[in-house]
């Protein structure tokens, strides 16, 4: 992991116990209900590899319809909270894994999901991240990303934009610590361009969130049989 990514994981480890408060913002409740229904339609019967699963908020929702989920993250602190959730009848495992090192993850999956991770991927790393994901999953696999839209008054303000076009926020935790975090807010066109060449690409929009879903097309390094 890069130093920036280690800082990101450290921030989410420190935030682990206060993380789920983000899902109680009153102005986002209608959107969250809409996304829940959307994800349940998408993941019905799938064997899901979840990247950057955090405290398992979306894992629990997807578990209500999926066959199995391997929920991965680089922070033991957030995964400990995910592990404590009730996943009903779905077979759910949690494991430490780097979203940029997917070839190290074993298992047979029909779909991949990452909630609120795309926004933390530096723009210059996005193509490589997606190529590796597509290679790992193989042609036909369903891929779903969910993330924030920037909403003034609801989103943390952007502190600056760097030379690469990445935007940053200063986040403060309850312990008073302050963290400078890369957080991008791509629009619909950027999302569609990023996955040009894939199949059935669709961007669903709610006032506070977007969801990109598609199927992997031909890949450069298909997974070994
Ligand atoms: C915004 S949180 C999203 C958590 C969860 N997906 C959700 O939507 O509630 C981002 C997560 O990415 C994880 N993360 C950061 N870098 C990572 C990496 N290289 N590999 C795997 N997880 C990573 C953090 O530990 C954190 O849990």
Over pLDDT 70: what percentage of the chain?
Answer: 97
Residue 211, ligand 1, Cβ within 6 A: no
pLDDT at 31 over 60: yes
* Domain of residue 80, CATH code: 3.40.50.150
Assess if residue 163 is contained within a domain.
no
Question: Taking all residues of the chain, what is their mean pLDDT, rounded to a whole number?
Answer: 96
Residue with tokens 């829940």: 36
Q: What pLDDT is recorded for position 222?
A: 56
Residue 58, ligand 1, Cβ within 6 A: yes
Residue 144's alpha-carbon distances to 88, 93, 110, 149, in angstroms, are 22, 19, 12, 16
What are the residues facing 214 on neighbouring strands?
143
Contact 157, 92 (CB under 8 A): no
Assess if residue 21 is contained within a domain.
yes
**Mutate which of 7, 12, 23, 171 for ligand 1 pocket (most atoms within 8 A of beta carbon):** 12
Assess if residue 131 is contained within a domain.
yes
pLDDT at 221 over 80: no
The length of the chain in residues reads 225
**Mutate which of 1, 24, 50, 117 for ligand 1 pocket (most atoms within 8 A of beta carbon):** 117
Assess if residue 220 is contained within a domain.
no
Q: Give the total number of structural domains in the chain.
A: 1
Separation of 193 CA from ligand 1 center, angstroms?
Answer: 23
Residue 54, ligand 1, Cβ within 6 A: yes
pLDDT tens sequence across 48-98: 999 999 999 999 999 999 999 999 999 999 999 999 999 999 999 999 999
Separation of 142 CA from ligand 1 center, angstroms?
Answer: 20
Contact 78, 116 (CB under 8 A): no
Assess if residue 160 is contained within a domain.
no
Q: What pLDDT is recorded for position 225?
A: 56
Assess if residue 23 is contained within a domain.
yes
Assess if residue 164 is contained within a domain.
no
Average pLDDT over residues 33-44: 98
pLDDT tens sequence across 166-197: 999 999 999 999 999 999 999 999 999 999 99
- DSSP assignment, residue 198? S
Nearest ligand 1 atom to the CA of 22 is: 9
**Mutate which of 72, 74, 85, 118 for ligand 1 pocket (most atoms within 8 A of beta carbon):** 74
pTM confidence score: 0.96
Separation of 225 CA from ligand 1 center, angstroms?
Answer: 30
**Mutate which of 1, 2, 9 for ligand 1 pocket (most atoms within 8 A of beta carbon):** 9
Assess if residue 162 is contained within a domain.
no
Separation of 150 CA from ligand 1 center, angstroms?
Answer: 19
Residue 146's CB: how many other CB atoms inside 10 A?
20
Burial of 128: CB neighbours in 10 Å, binned 0-12, 13-18, 19+: exposed
> Could you tell me the residue range of the domain that residue 8 belongs to?
3-153+186-215
Residue 77, ligand 1, Cβ within 6 A: no
- Residue with the nearest Cα to atom 1 of ligand 1? 116
């Amino acid at each position: 992991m890069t130093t920036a990514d280690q800082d990101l994981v450290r921030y989410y480890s420190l935030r682990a116990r206060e993380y789920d408060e983000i899902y109680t913002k009153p102005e986002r409740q209608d959107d969250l209900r809409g996304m829940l229904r959307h994800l349940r339609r998408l993941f019905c019967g799938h064997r899901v590899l979840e990247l950057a699963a955090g405290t398992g908020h979306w894992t629990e929702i997807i578990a209500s319809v999926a066959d199995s989920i391997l929920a991965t993250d680089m922070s033991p602190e957030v995964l400990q909270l995910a592990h404590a959730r009730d996943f009903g009848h779905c077979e759910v495992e949690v494991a430490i894994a780097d979203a940029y090192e997917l070839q190290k993850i074993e298992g047979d999956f029909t779909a991949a999901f990452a909630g609120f991770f795309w926004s933390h991927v530096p723009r210059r790393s996005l193509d490589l991240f997606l190529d590796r994901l597509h290679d790992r999953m193989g042609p036909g696999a369903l891929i779903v990303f969910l993330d924030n839209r920037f909403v003034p008054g609801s989103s943390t303000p952007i502190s600056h934009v760097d030379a690469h076009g990445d935007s940053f926020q200063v986040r403060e935790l309850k312990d008073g610590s302050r963290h400078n975090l890369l957080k991008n807010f791509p629009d619909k066109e950027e999302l569609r361009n990023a996955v040009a060449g894939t199949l059935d690409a669709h961007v669903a929009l709610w006032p506070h969130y977007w969801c990109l879903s598609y199927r992997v097309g031909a890949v450069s390094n298909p997974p070994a049989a």
